[in-house]
């Protein structure tokens, strides 16, 4: 019997893609507020670096390069990135919110905290996919072929 091939859902329309793009938008917004307010340079540099890394992962998944470059375990790198980004964004946001500063720095801190929540959600989505579908697209052969 011929098995039906599962229809591929584009990354942009998946839940993981939506969360990652929301995370990118919140981080860009936070960075923009920090730039407008002329916040301390580490705030701008860290948020700018996170924007670049998130953009890299979005391009990687949109072009399906994670399946082409299979020498790296991309879900693990994505989970590690999500957790490290969440830690950095929480630290930067709390430091931006603690002293009495301008409104734009406070807004940058608030959007940074929202981005940190999205980072945690993004990491949890990837981790959940690995738990429920460990043989998924990251394994070369289906489990029943190994017997």
Domain boundaries of the chain, sorted by first residue: 40-71, 73-132
Q: To the nearest 5 percent, what fractions of the chain are helix, strand and coil?
A: 75, 0, 25
Whole-prediction pTM: 0.79
The string of DSSP letters for 65-128 reads: HHHH-TTS-HHHHHHHHHHHHHHHHHHHHHHHHSS---HHHHHHHHHHHHHHHHHHHHHHHHHH
Please provide the size of the chain in residues.
Answer: 147
31-86 tens-digit pLDDT: 999 999 998 899 999 999 999 999 999 998 888 888 888 888 888 888 999 999 99
**Residues contacting 66, CB < 8 A, separation 6+:** 60, 74
């Amino acid at each position: 019997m011929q098995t039906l091939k599962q229809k591929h859902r584009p990354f942009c329309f998946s839940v993981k893609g939506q969360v990652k793009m929301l995370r990118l938008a919140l981080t860009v917004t936070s960075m923009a507020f920090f730039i407008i307010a002329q916040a301390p340079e580490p705030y701008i540099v860290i948020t700018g670096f996170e924007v670049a890394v998130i953009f890299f992962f979005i391009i990687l998944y949109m072009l399906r390069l994670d399946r082409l470059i299979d020498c790296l375990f991309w879900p693990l790198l994505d989970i590690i990135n999500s957790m490290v980004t969440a830690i950095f964004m929480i630290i930067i946001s709390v430091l931006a919110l603690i002293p009495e500063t301008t409104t734009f720095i406070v807004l940058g801190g608030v959007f940074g905290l929202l981005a940190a929540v999205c980072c945690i959600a993004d990491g949890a989505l990837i981790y959940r996919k690995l738990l429920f579908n460990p043989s998924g697209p990251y394994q070369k052969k289906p489990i029943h072929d190994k017997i």
